[in-house]
Structure 1
Amino acid sequence: MDRIALNDDLELSRLVYGMWRLGDAEDTSPEHVRAKIEACLDQGITTMDQADIYGGYMAEEILGNALTPELRDRIEIVTKCDIVAPAGRYESAKVKHYDTSRAHVVGSVEHSLRLMQTDRIDLLLIHRPDPLMDHEETGAALDEVVKSGKVRAVGVSNFRPWDWELLQSGMSTPLVTNQIEMSLLNHAPFTNGDVAFHQRQKQPLMAWSPLGGGALFAPENAALRTRLGEIAEEQGVDDAAVAVAWLLAHPARILPVMGTNNLDRIARIGDAAKVTMDRETWFDLYTHALGHEVP
């Protein structure tokens, strides 16, 4: 499994295991969660993607209950903060909102460290752009948690280039990644400037929902699904592996975040790295995704 350096101190596995559904599983026991992590590690997938809000603010604790010191040292933990929804510890919130204040960012880090029973977060992301963000206050808070050693690196999620530049202007610590939605069905970032912005600055992107939340396999996408299946059969993998390989083939060094609770599917996440995809195959799939040939 390839690894991607985000800075001089932090590398992530090219494929990332997404834990947003961890709390939805029938079995959330420490033993079963450890089995999922071990299935990832067997493929060289060492990066686990979390967020404070996942599982109604419970997924981090489910992970923490499963971690042993030895297992913690074998993985990188990504987590996120700033979404406040009326659930879990924020059930008294009157409305879903974003909070990028210093108090919330620092408090969220402390919550995450406690729930995951660890002394460090490898990568902390601001989960959503906050239209009420004081970039200097938020930037100083991110600098603070890095300087304290509680967070190794910081980034963002779902930010547009101007959101990134605003926050970065209030910081001394470099932002290292932006986790955005990208897939064959959500391919706008390849042409709307999002990918180009980060590719120019050599900042690897993370891709959430790389299978389009399952919509990739809906009836209306039958032609694309058929082509994926043909390529998958040629290369001895499943359709999902080909769809993810489409992202891996891009020179922007995209890190797809794959989420499933099924152990058999977890064991096949790494197949995406085995797929060979030349330029014509990439554009063939892109053409099917567009529904027409490129101009």
Structure 2
Amino acid sequence: MNRVQLTENISIARIVTGLWRLKHWNLSTQELIAFIEKNIEIGMTTMDHALVYGSEAPFGKALKADPTLRDKIEIISKCGIKPVGNSALHAKQTNHYSSSFKTITESLNQSLSDLNTDQVDIFLIHRPDYLMNINEVAKAFEQIKKQGKAKSFGVSNFSKTQFDLLQSVIDEPLVTNQVEFSPYQTEFLESGLPELSQKTGQSIMVWSCLAGGKIFDTSDEKAVRLLGTLTKIQHEIGAISVEQIVYAWLLKLPYNVIPMTGTSNIDRIVLASQAQYCELSDEQWYEILEASNNCQVP
């Protein structure tokens, strides 16, 4: 697995293991240890969490059961989403976001406790908060860095303007922005974030690479059209699966796009990891974009 150097001291896997569904996989601690070990063997050593996912406590049990795993992986965590029904996140009646100093610091402390670790490698603000005080966020990040609880910081689902605003008060570069992007959901390409990534070298982590499975929905006209083109190109280049073509399409972009998986199926994770060896031509890349947009490139 190729790696991406985010800072002088932090590199991560070219494809990240997404764990937002972990609590629904019903894995025992030993099964989760085996899952982590297999990902490490593949080279997918970077694990994406968030406090709101409920993935961190079971993952922490695995790290406690096998402490040797921690030094072999990089952990991403996120904070700031407060849904109703999750008493630990303090939402009583209304789903909301919070990026206050108190929320950021308390959320990280909870994540560290759940994960059974003293430090995360990357800590993100999970969603743009309309009530965000950027100076308060900067203060929280500064304290966390001094305490050694996070190596680096970033954001998730931020627009270019929101990213620029927060970066203006953070002394060190925000290392990533997690966004939704896939051949099915292509709005990212016109968001200004690709240009920002090339200009600054900041990475883009991509979630929902398969559009939550929508690409395979035979009742969706767009998905059927897109799947036909993906399958055609799969055969043209001799790839093993359509999923590999999707990941290869994302990896072809000329900046640090880092796709995230979302499955417990190791076979699918192996296929995703091998997408780095699938080479699409420029024409094939645009053919997929045309299928998504249902119109020719002008």
Aligned residue number for residue 271 of structure 2: 268
Using the alignment, how far apart are the partners of 1:159 and 1:104 within structure 2? 18
Using the alignment, how far apart are the partners of 1:192 and 1:152 within structure 2? 28
RMSD across aligned positions (CA): 1.4
Aligned residue number for residue 245 of structure 1: 248
Q: How many residues align?
A: 291
Aligned residue number for residue 137 of structure 2: 138
Shift of the alpha carbon at 1:42?
2.0
Aligned residue number for residue 100 of structure 1: 99
Using the alignment, how far apart are the partners of 2:181 and 2:91 within structure 1? 33
Q: In the alignment, does 2:55 pair up with 1:59?
A: yes
Paired letter, 2:285: W
User: Cα–Cα, structure 1 residues 131 and 92, in superposed 2: closer, same or farther, change >3 Å?
Assistant: closer
Using the alignment, how far apart are the partners of 2:107 and 2:182 within structure 1? 30
Q: Deviations over 1:211-269 (max 9, x none)?
A: 11111112222122122122223423110111111000000220001111223323322
Using the alignment, how far apart are the partners of 1:142 and 1:108 within structure 2? 12
Match of 1:78 among 58, 76, 80: 76
Paired letter, 2:276: A
- Post-superposition, which runs of at least 4 consecutive aligned residues in structure 1 deviate over 3 A? none
Which segment is superposed worse, 270-279 or 228-237? 228-237
Aligned pairs (5 A) from 1:152-167 = 152-167=151-166
Q: Contact conserved, 2:32 with 2:59, CA < 8 A, in 1?
A: yes
Using the alignment, how far apart are the partners of 1:176 and 1:273 within structure 2? 22
Using the alignment, how far apart are the partners of 1:40 and 1:142 within structure 2? 30
Paired letter, 1:248: L
SS in structure 2 of the partner of residue 281 of structure 1: helix
SS in structure 1 of the partner of residue 4 of structure 2: strand
Using the alignment, how far apart are the partners of 1:267 and 1:74 within structure 2? 18
Paired letter, 2:73: I
Aligned residue number for residue 31 of structure 2: 32
Q: Contact conserved, 2:82 with 2:90, CA < 8 A, in 1?
A: no
Using the alignment, how far apart are the partners of 1:226 and 1:42 within structure 2? 33
SS in structure 1 of the partner of residue 111 of structure 2: helix
Shift of the alpha carbon at 1:116?
0.4
Aligned residue number for residue 89 of structure 1: 88
Q: What TM-score results when the alignment is normalised by the length of structure 1?
A: 0.95
Q: Contact conserved, 1:139 with 1:168, CA < 8 A, in 2?
A: no
Q: Deviations over 1:170-215 (max 9, x none)?
A: 2223211100011101111112312112222111110011111111
Match of 2:225 among 223, 226, 240: 223
Aligned residue number for residue 279 of structure 1: 282
Between the two proteins, what is the percent identity of the paired residues? 36
Aligned residue number for residue 259 of structure 1: 262
Using the alignment, how far apart are the partners of 2:170 and 2:40 within structure 1? 34
Using the alignment, how far apart are the partners of 1:274 and 1:88 within structure 2? 45
Shift of the alpha carbon at 1:164?
1.0
Q: Deviations over 1:30-65 (max 9, x none)?
A: 1111122122122211100001000xxx21001111
Q: What TM-score results when the alignment is normalised by the length of structure 2?
A: 0.94
Aligned residue number for residue 199 of structure 1: 198
Q: Contact conserved, 1:237 with 1:271, CA < 8 A, in 2?
A: no
Q: Contact conserved, 1:39 with 1:267, CA < 8 A, in 2?
A: no
Q: Which runs of 5+ in 1 are unaligned?
A: none
Q: Contact conserved, 2:16 with 2:261, CA < 8 A, in 1?
A: yes
Using the alignment, how far apart are the partners of 1:39 and 1:232 within structure 2? 26
